[in-house]
Structure 1
């Protein structure tokens, strides 16, 4: 395939994902029909099925891209050369910034488990944002040992609940202060 064909293919794929994302956020997955997606993307129905087996596959691609975008934002802000606690807190702030993108909390935390299943949604999280959290916790709490996995899963779930609460009107500053208290409390506990 020539470079221009590859570029056109990728442009079509991105147009479908962008249109689908917009409609999934506006209407929800169930109320979004594939004819609406192709019309919004300005492509044919054949183009949709050339790139994605079905609507759920398109949805999953949108979810994977959203999760990767959040993880990328965290990695940019939580630089490894920074002191581990500061890097972890910068990553927490980046997570909340990433989740503040319109519709992202709904897509990643509410729609994804319902549409692709809790197991698949969790796996995407484990490979993206939870992986960055685990690395940050490992650097910040090297004494965690065998507790690293469970602590990562618990804190990841806490971050997700906080993002949902913030989107519903909760005060982000309070959740960020709570994260500091949790991390410092964990560090103190693990040092004993």
Structure 2
């Protein structure tokens, strides 16, 4: 009977994978906090590794450079925003895609002023990553969520039939501008109410 392979190499590999995942998570968490507080340009790698409790070599083992870490941070923030919006829409249990779109817009207008969303995703994201990479990351999460709701509305006959992609880009562009308008306003609550009314009109204009 052939000898059974030792479980030690596999166990050791698993520990290495777990350590690597823990290091990566620590770096992303540290990056999220620092990038949100100070902005990408003001945060050095020394501050990131100190906040994460890892070595400089560990940073470069996980990410090619600071920009690569930033891209991972943007995606993490986007994924969280998409999950939060989807959860709020699902909690209401609406079967109407137009109402779901309204709920998603209201949730976004509330979330967009949070520092890590405003500074990391909206301000630094396009300039650090370039528009194409930034939009590609967004397309995996919030943009994808908007596109799916629009497709649902078209399939259900609640939105005029048209190509989904261009419509999603227009709404996402409007939502980004709305977020910047609110964030820069002296009275954020008034600005949010104004933009909520604008989105009501935009969404109403999509219906059949």
1:73 aligns with 2:84: yes
Bigger Rg, structure 1 or 2: 2
Question: What's the RMSD between the two structures over aligned residues?
Answer: 1.9
Matches within 5 A, 1:102-181: 102-141=115-154, 142=157, 143-169=159-185, 170=188, 171-181=191-201
CA 1:6–1:97 in 2, change beyond 3 Å: closer, same or farther?
A: farther
Q: Does 1:97 align with 2:117?
A: no
| Deviating more after overlay: 114-123 vs 28-37 | 28-37
Matched, 1:9 2:29: no
Note the alpha carbon deviations across 1:39-98, whole angstroms, 9 max, x for none. Answer: 111110111111111111100000011111111112212237532121111111222233
CA distance in 2, matches of 1:8, 1:173: 46
CA deviation map 1:1-33 (0-9, x unaligned): 645544432222111111112221222212211
| Pairs within 5 Å for 1:24-63 | 24-63=35-74
Structure 1 position 183, deviation (Å): 0.9
**Normalising to structure 1: TM-score of the pair?**
0.88
Give unmatched runs, 5+ long, in structure 1: none
Q: Following the alignment from structure 2 to structure 1, what is the Cα–Cα distance between the partners of residues 153 and 23?
A: 42
Deviating above 6 A after TM superposition, structure 1's stretches of 4 or more consecutive aligned residues are none
TM-score normalised to structure 2 length: 0.82
Aligned counterparts of 1:44 and 1:133: Cα–Cα separation in 2 = 39
Cα distance between partner residues in 2 of 1:117 and 1:102: 20
8 A Cα contact 2:147 2:164, kept in partner: yes
On the 8 A contact 2:102/2:203 being kept in 1, the answer is no
- The answer on whether the counterparts of 1:17 and 1:58 sit within 8 Å (CA) in structure 2 is yes
Long gaps (5+) in structure 2: 1-9
- Greater relative contact order (CA < 8 Å, ≥ 6 in sequence): 2
